[in-house]
Each structure stands twice: as structure tokens, then as C-alpha cells.
Amino acid sequence: MRRVVITGMGAVTPIGNSVSDTWESIKAGKCGIDKITHYDVSNRKVKVAGEVKNLNFEDYIDKKELRKMDKFCAFALIAAREAVEDSGIKFETDSDRCGVIVSSGIGGLGTIEVEYSKGSEKGFDRISPYFIPASISNMAAGRIAIEHGIHGMCNSVVTACAGGTNAVGDSFRYIKDGYAEVMLCGGTESSITESGIGGFTSLKALSQSEDPMRASIPFDKERNGFVMGEGAGILVLEELEHALARNAKIYGEVVGYGANCDAYHITAPLEDGSGAAKCMQLAMKEAGIEASKISYINAHGTSTPMNDKGETRAVKLAFGDASNSVMMSSTKSMTGHLLGASGAIEAIITTLAVKEGFVPATINYSVPDEECDLDIVANEGRNVEIEYAMSNSLGFGGHNASIIVKKYQ
């Protein structure tokens, strides 16, 4: 069996514009949620989000090129550059054996808004010639491949909030099954826009709390919706012998992946959690381990009443008696929910949790819920040795995805 390791990571998140800054914020239990500044929220029901802060795109990308891309693409390019630099990988040779899979749940929503408004005012024949390439969801993956000269498979997974995890899992399989040696993978999202927030508000999916510390509160009995986040996470996955041959540093090893569908409802998960439970079991089967070997789960944990209750039930079904001892937290309490980028950011966090022996907290937890009664690592992170950890993502359409990361030995 070909083994797959993580040799590079890059991130732009509401709690840090690099992996190191994000991880320091995770360890400190920092909340990245605050009042929305991207547009006027005076007369809007939803007023808070997890925005990326203090990031000047022109420090990273030429101003002329920035005009040709949406913000979700820019996030992805910045995170990918960090991941590639971090890994020390060169794509000058054997680039046909390297690929890219980057998810985006929605794509260039901000660009669509701007150009539609322009078209309505001036006529649609006068909108930007870059409207289509700026807004389509696959362009983050395409631009990363172009910038780094990667000639292998280039794909974009669009499975709503499961997309980032699917991108990592699909890349893991692509290397494991012998189709590539290196994959850049992850997710990116920029949906803190008027229509993005408005659409989820109409769905009654978003928290309307104006207190940033009581808005994204996964597993808390007073939770009332998720908080939108934005940013990107990119990982470099590499076949083990390929990594060893170039003396690459190794963060951890991906050993299991599960993906399935509830086939139940366009937005609601199966109430008994059975679909997500089977997905976790698929990942454990591929990893060749029992549930008792997994010390930590980075939960999907969106802070919606249905998700958190259903995910708790799913873990109990999948883990059995081991659910009584497994630690589970939702780092969305700090970052908000980055949709198609969430799974990628959380894969990075899960990998660092394993590498450094630190379990992140579910912050701002106050009111226990008897229906979410697992060990959710409330408010304070823990220094604990971890051999195996799992990261879960659950998306609209019934998409479920789980990956398992092992401490590299």
C-alpha cells in the first residue's frame, strides 16, 4: 500500500492569515467573529461573520491580475503559495504526476453580484469580460495549477460544506492508488456578501445574535444557527517515499477516508445520524482501526440545532462505547463556517492537533445540551498525546465526508 503524508500547509482564515497564526489563535481559543464590514448591515437581520482581517491582496497578487479574479480565488492562491513554500516541493520535473483538487461551495458570488448590478444598469453586453472566469468554482484549482506549473489532474469538488474534506480525501486516494505523487488540495470560500448572507438568512440557517461571543456556539443549548466565515486552506499531500527522497518534513499521515450520502433531504441531515455514522465507519475501515483508537474528532459542529444533535447521534452510532471517551470539539466556534473551505481548514487543524498533542476547545460554550452530551472539550484546550484523529464534514444535499489523520512514525 502506498502511504500518503502531509508535507505542506497554507491558510487564510478569520483567526490568522497563515497556518502559524491560525494555529496560535486556535491554541489561545481566539474568536474570529465580529461585526460584518464588507457591506452595510444596519437594516439586516444577520450582523456578524468570520471575516478575514488585515489582508492586503496587493501584497501577494499583482493589481492587474486581481481585477481578473474573485476573492475566493485570491484566498486560494495565497494559501497555496504558503503550502508550496512550506513543503519545499518543486514542480519543475515530473509535473504530470502532480495534481490539484480545490473545492469551493459557491465560487465567485461577490463577482456575480457586482456584474449583475452593472449589467442591470448599463446592459449585460457591457459586463466584465472576466466575469465568467472570475466567478466559476473551478478557477481556484485552475489558477493554482497555472501558477505552479502542475500538469496532472486538476479538479474542483463541489459538495457544499463537505467539499474541503472531499478534496483532501479524493487527493489521498489519488496518490494511494498510484495516479499521482503529489497533490495540492483543500478549499476556498468568499460568501460574506449581501446575497450569500441573505440567502442563508432566508433559509433560517444563520445565527442572528449580535454578540460575537454567543453567535457560533456549537453544542450549546442556546445555539441558533451558524456564522458565515471566509478564507482558504490548502495542503500538500505526498506519497511517502517521494517525500522521504527529498527529505521533506512530515506533519502527519492520512490513513482513512469515508464519503457517502444521506439521500434524504436537500438541507437537513438524517435525524438519527445513520448516514454520517456510516461515513465515519468507512474511514475507520480504510484506516484499519477500531473506534477506540481515535482520540479526537474535529466535528462539523456548525452551531445549528439539527446538525449538532445529529452529529452527536452519528458519533454514538459509529463509535459505540468508544464515544464515551473520545474528545470532540468544533473549531467553527472560532472561525465560523467557511462552507467549502471548512473541511480543509479543519484538516490542517486536525493534523496539527495530532502533531503537537493539543486538542482545540469548543469556545464560548455556556449552556449544556442533554442531546449533545459527548466530551466537547468546552472552553479550554487540552495537551493530550494523539495517535489518530478524525475530521468530519457534512454538506447540503446529504454529502458526508470524514478523514483520519495519524501521527507520523
- Residue among 98, 242, 279, 300 flagged as catalytic: 300
- In three-state form (DSSP H/G/I as H, E/B as E, the rest C), the secondary structure along the chain is CCCEEEEEEEEEECCECCHHHHHHHHHHCCCCCEECCCCCCCCCCCCEEECCCCCCHHHCCCHHHHCCCCHHHHHHHHHHHHHHHHHCCCCCCCHHHEEEEEECCCCCHHHHHHHHHHHHHHCHHHCCCCHHHHHCCCHHHHHHHHHHCCCCCEECCCCHHHHHHHHHHHHHHHHHCCCCCEEEEEEEECCCCHHHHHHHHHCCCECCCCCHHHCCCCCCCCCCCECEECEEEEEEEEEHHHHHHCCCCCCEEEEEEEEEECCCCCCCCCCCCHHHHHHHHHHHHHHCCCHHHEEEEECCCCCCHHHHHHHHHHHHHHHHHHHHCCEEECCHHHHCECHHHHHHHHHHHHHHHHHHCEECCECCCCCCCCCCCCECCECCCEECCCCEEEEEEEECCCEEEEEEEECCC
- Whether 73 is catalytic: no
**In this structure, are residues 26 and 15 in contact, taking their beta carbons and an 8 Å threshold?**
yes
- Whether 161 is catalytic: yes
- Residue among 161, 185, 279, 372 flagged as catalytic: 161
- Whether 148 is catalytic: no
- Residue among 148, 242, 337, 399 flagged as catalytic: 337
The catalytic residue positions are 161, 300, 337
